[in-house]
Amino acid sequence: YETPEAFAKAFRKQHDIKPSDVRKEACTIHSYNKLVIHVQLKGADPMQYKIVEKESFRVVGFKRTLSCANGEQSKEITKFWQDIYEDGTNDRLFPLNTGDIKGVIGVCDMGENNLMDYWIATSYAGEDTQVFETFTVPAAKWTVFEVKGAMPTAITTMWEKIYQEWLPSNAYELTNGPELEVYSNGDTSSPDYYSEIWLPIK
């Protein structure tokens, strides 16, 4: 600055106080960090997936109808899984897993009026069971994404990558139909835990 007065004027304009006020008392002044341009590369990490055509199949388990208003379904799905683990239903489903898809399945089936049926079930090829409800997953072409890592972080991260990276860069489109999360029998907190996401496509 050419003069102390010019400096004082600029200082006051910036900080709303005079330079001399800073010496007299503990005043709040503004600080701006150095600007940094951050470039984030997406798509650098490989995504393992396969395309599967599958006839309709049956699952057995339990269903809750959830509201999707204001993202309420996310909290309710988490609570549903907690209830299933606490009452031992999860352990009862694995022995019933006689169908082609191995594991316990979270089935998301969108309905009308912003409602969704969410199933925690397993692929079942046996006789009708009176204990569990039954749902038929329709025939479809599926993209099956491999997920490795501890829950719920690994599967949440994969969902983000699918919608932000994979779908925009591929010719496939999602079709109407249920979406599946398949969980293997193992330690869900392990960094090597294996699960899958199944999306109906065309």
In 3D, which of 195, 196, 50, 55 has the Cα closest to residue 125? Answer: 55
C-alpha to C-alpha distance for 60 and 7, rounded to whole angstroms: 76
pLDDT on residue 62: 94
Question: In the predicted model, is pLDDT for residue 80 greater than 60?
Answer: yes
173, 169, 67, 163: which is closest to 111 by C-alpha? 67
Tell me what the mean pLDDT of segment 30-55 comes to.
Answer: 74
Which range has the top average pLDDT, 21-25, 78-82, 123-127?
A: 78-82
- The pLDDT-based confidence of 149 (bands split at 50, 70, 90) is very high
* CA distances for 66 relative to 10, 84, 164, 166, 182, angstroms: 58, 16, 25, 28, 20
Contacts of 186 (CB under 8 A, 6+ apart): 193, 194
The CA distance from 9 to 157, in Å, is 51
Report, as an integer, the average pLDDT of 140-146. 95
Is residue 195 within 8 A of residue 151, CB to CB? The reply is: yes
pLDDT of residue 38: 61
For the chain, the average pLDDT equals: 88
Is the pLDDT reported for residue 41 higher than 60?
Answer: no
Q: Sort strands 140-148 and 194-201 into parallel, antiparallel or unpaired.
A: antiparallel
Average pLDDT over residues 12-24: 84
pTM of the shown model: 0.75
- Give the residue with greater pLDDT, 28 vs 95: 95
Pick from 60-74, 117-131, 184-198 the range whose average pLDDT is largest. 184-198
Instruction: Check residue 179 and give its pLDDT.
Output: 95
**Are residues 201 and 153 in contact, defined by beta-carbon separation less than 8 angstroms?**
no
Q: What are phi and psi of 158, to 5 degrees?
A: -65, -40
* pLDDT exceeds cutoff 80 at 124: yes
Q: Which two tokens stand for residue 168?
A: 């925009």
